[in-house]
Amino acid sequence: MSDPQKLPNRDWLTNPQTGRAHEAARLHKTFRKMLEDPETTPEQKDKARRSIRLIDGLMNAKRRINKAALPPTRS
């Protein structure tokens, strides 16, 4: 994983046409593995941390939007 050309691409996350929850989960897992890999350079680990934070933020925003779109529940 130490090859900079092999880093996963996260540009699709900003495009709602191509963004998918399972793809976000897959990338999240890949970036987590990069953090644990001893061959990963500090620059790559920094990019992985930023990418994880971006994915988490986007998925949380998506959850909030979906929750707000639901009709209110009666108690």
**Structural domain count of the chain:** 1
Mean pLDDT of 64-74: 79
Name which residue leads in pLDDT, 44 or 72: 44
pLDDT value at 46 more than 60: yes
Question: Which 3 state secondary structure label does DSSP give 16?
Answer: coil
pTM above the 0.75 mark?
Answer: no
Average of per-residue pLDDT values in the chain: 78
Which one, of 62, 52, 53, 68, lies nearest residue 20 by Cα?
A: 62
Q: Which domain holds residue 53?
A: 4-69
Asked if residue 34 is part of any domain, the answer here is yes
Residue 18 pLDDT: 55
Would 38 be classed as within a structural domain? yes
Average pLDDT over residues 26-35: 89
Domain membership flag for residue 74? no
Residues 26-29: contacts with CB within 8 Å, 24+ apart?
27/51, 27/55, 28/52, 28/55, 28/56
